[in-house]
A = this chain, B = another copy of it.
Amino acid sequence: MEPIRKAALVKATIVELGRAGSLDVTVSQIAKRAGMSSALAHHYFGSKEDIFLAAMRHILSLYGAEVRGALAAVDGPEARLQAILRASFSPGNFRREAVGAWLNFYVLAQTVPEARRLLSVYQRRLRSNLLSCLRPLVGVRADRAADALGALIDGVYLREALKEGPPDSASAVATVMEFVASELGKRK
């Protein structure tokens, strides 16, 4: 039962986090959505914080898997770059709940060291992925470009959280591609 319950709770947490748009979500709400009592949630995870962290790990590993999959399917720095971006804004990651949850993970990271660590891991991995694509393309400028591109992706996520209506992957990718294209010196 344990793995099933935990998975249900993690999923429910992400939904509730996205719905509420803040960390002010009660364990009872989460448990209810996952179809169990709050006591059971506490039984499997020790605390509310642990539930949040599990949800964070889930989203992060989902994202990681998607990127890895996309990278495995293509060849060459430009194609790889594009793959990373498409994965970053794929419907799996770039959806209301996930975006809402994401924003809150940043907040969580302000107070919970483990959350901060997880977010740092994500940032470092993204950076190193971007760097390996950019280095062959823009040489020494790759470092700065990777920083900018990473920040840009996060910024697009952040702004999506404010918009209403369903997220628009295509437009998000287009916005980021605009940056990449000009960075690579290609004008259409």
The chain A residues found within 8 Å of chain B, CB to CB, are: 20-24, 100, 103-104, 106-107, 109-111, 116, 119-120, 123, 141, 144-145, 147-148, 150-156, 158-159, 161-162, 174-176, 178-179, 182-183, 185, 187
Contacting pair B107 A148 (CB below 8 A): no
Q: Which B residues are CB-close (under 8 A) to A178?
A: 141, 144-145, 147-148
**6 tightest Cβ-Cβ pairs between the two chains A and B:** A21-B110, A155-B155, A151-B155, A154-B155, A144-B178, A182-B183
Q: Which B residues are CB-close (under 8 A) to A24?
A: 23
Q: How many copies does the complex hold?
A: 2
Q: Which B residues are CB-close (under 8 A) to A151?
A: 152, 155-156, 158-159, 175
Bound together, the chains give a CA A127 to CA B2 distance in angstroms of 49
User: What is the minimal beta-carbon distance from A6 to any residue of chain B, in angstroms?
Assistant: 25
Q: Given A22-B110, A107-B107, A141-B178, 14 more contacts at CB 8 Å?
A: A20-B110, A21-B107, A21-B110, A100-B110, A120-B162, A144-B175, A147-B178, A148-B176, A151-B155, A151-B156, A151-B158, A151-B159, A153-B155, A155-B156
A159 nearest CB neighbor, chain B only: B151
Q: Which B residues are CB-close (under 8 A) to A123?
A: 159, 162
